[in-house]
């Protein structure tokens, strides 16, 4: 744990200034589709509560761009890249009287505590992740590459309707104290991606990411994996000129035969 706390700021300290100082070269627009899992240890049987869902798997979609900051970087076959992106996800969350917020389902929208008190209420929450993975991309030939990156990700959560509550909707406002307390809005992300170029204009990538909340790691009341996030998804890269994505028809040329003497 001590080594992790030491090396994490060091990596951020060196990678982010390098990205900001470099002159970015635009490579492609990226579209992302995937799923992510968020660890939730506040469930039965360890805690006598209802409504707290253990397996919170959420779909995510988003888009961004890919830039090459320096090529070559360190080696002739590697490059320094940055992939700024925004991803969106929807999930219902339940607020307990203690102030803890957990993923839930509409069937257990109010839940109950260990003292059999009903939960304050629940609502759909829109999660917006603003990511900027800075990493090293290593070429695996002419058409493939693997990338390792780290991102200082901002996680913004906002209630998006479909609220269920005991008294009034404003009782759900303490959700924000949980979402933005203990620096849960800032999470280091670690990315691993494998990209394959179909052509000069189209590429596909498999991307996995792991996100941690440093202060939640230090909370000894719950297991280390509480609030831990991991996900995988498919990424599509479209490079300009986008007309190259469509196969051009061959020119219809007239074939002229050479004249012959009669």
Question: What are the tens digits of pLDDT across the range 96-137?
Answer: 888 899 998 887 777 776 566 667 889 999 999 999 999 999
What is the band of 216 on the pLDDT scale with cuts at 50, 70, 90? confident
**Of residues 30 and 170, more confidently modeled:** 30
Architecture of domain 2-239: Beta Barrel (2.40)
Check residue 249 and give its pLDDT: 47
**Of residues 77 and 219, more confidently modeled:** 77
Question: What's the alpha-carbon Rg for the chain, to the nearest Å?
Answer: 24
**Of residues 202 and 161, more confidently modeled:** 202
What proportions of the chain, in percent to the nearest 5, are helix, strand and coil? 15, 45, 40
Question: What are the tens digits of pLDDT across the range 165-215?
Answer: 877 888 899 999 999 988 889 999 999 999 999 998 999 999 999 998 888
Confidence (pTM): 0.79
SS3 243: helix
Task: Compute the distance between CA of residue 226 and CA of residue 87 in angstroms, rounded to an integer.
Answer: 22
Check residue 247 and give its pLDDT: 61
Give percent of the chain above pLDDT 90: 48
What is the band of 6 on the pLDDT scale with cuts at 50, 70, 90? very low
Mean pLDDT of 37-64: 85
Which two three-digit tokens encode residue 60?
Answer: 């995510």
Instruction: Answer yes or no: are the C-beta atoms of 133 and 64 closer than 8 Å.
Output: no
Please compute, for residue 43, the number of CA atoms within 13 A of its CA located in the half-sphere on the CB side: 17
Check residue 217 and give its pLDDT: 80
Which two three-digit tokens encode residue 93?
Answer: 């969350």
Give the residue extent of every domain in the chain: 2-239
Q: Which letter, b or e, does each residue of 19-37 get, where b requires 16 or more Cβ atoms within 10 Å of its Cβ? A: beebebeebbebebebebe
Residue 193 bridge partners (DSSP): 147, 207
Spatial CB neighbours of 41, under 8 Å, sequence gap ≥ 6: 222, 223, 225, 226
Q: Quick check: 260 pLDDT over 70?
A: no
Task: Compute the distance between CA of residue 183 and CA of residue 148 in angstroms, rounded to an integer.
Answer: 24
Least confident piece of the model among 8-17, 145-154, 186-195: 8-17
Task: Compute the distance between CA of residue 82 and CA of residue 241 in angstroms, rounded to an integer.
Answer: 21
**Of residues 71 and 31, more confidently modeled:** 31
DSSP letter string over 97-160? TTS-EEE--GGGSS-B-TTSPBPSEEEEEEEEEEE--EEEEEE-SSSEEEEEEEEEEEEEEEE-
Q: Quick check: 77 pLDDT over 50?
A: yes
**Of residues 248 and 11, more confidently modeled:** 248
């Amino acid at each position: 744990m001590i080594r992790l706390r030491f090396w994490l700021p060091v990596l951020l300290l060196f990678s982010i200034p390098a990205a900001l100082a470099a002159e970015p070269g635009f490579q492609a627009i990226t579209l992302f589709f995937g799923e992510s899992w968020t660890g939730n240890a506040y469930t039965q049987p360890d805690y006598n509560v209802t409504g707290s869902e253990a397996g919170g798997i959420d779909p995510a979609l988003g888009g961004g761009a890919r830039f090459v900051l320096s090529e070559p970087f360190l080696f002739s076959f590697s490059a320094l890249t940055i992939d700024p992106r925004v991803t969106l996800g929807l999930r219902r969350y339940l607020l307990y009287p203690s102030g803890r917020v957990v993923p839930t389902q509409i069937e257990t929208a109010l839940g109950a505590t260990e003292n059999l008190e009903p939960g304050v209420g629940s609502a759909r929450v829109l999660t917006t992740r603003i990511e900027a993975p800075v990493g090293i991309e290593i070429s695996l030939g002419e058409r493939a590459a693997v990338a390792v990156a780290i991102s200082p990700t901002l996680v913004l959560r906002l209630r998006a309707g479909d609220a269920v509550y005991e008294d009034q909707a404003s009782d759900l406002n303490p959700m924000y104290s949980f979402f933005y307390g203990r620096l849960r809005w800032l999470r280091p992300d670690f990315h691993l991606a494998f990209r394959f170029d179909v052509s000069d204009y189209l590429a596909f990538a498999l991307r996995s990411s792991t996100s941690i909340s440093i202060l939640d790691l230090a909370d000894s009341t719950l297991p280390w994996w509480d609030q831990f996030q991991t996900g995988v998804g498919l990424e599509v890269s479209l490079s300009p000129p986008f007309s190259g994505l469509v196969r051009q028809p061959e020119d219809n040329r007239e074939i002229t035969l050479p004249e012959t003497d009669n």
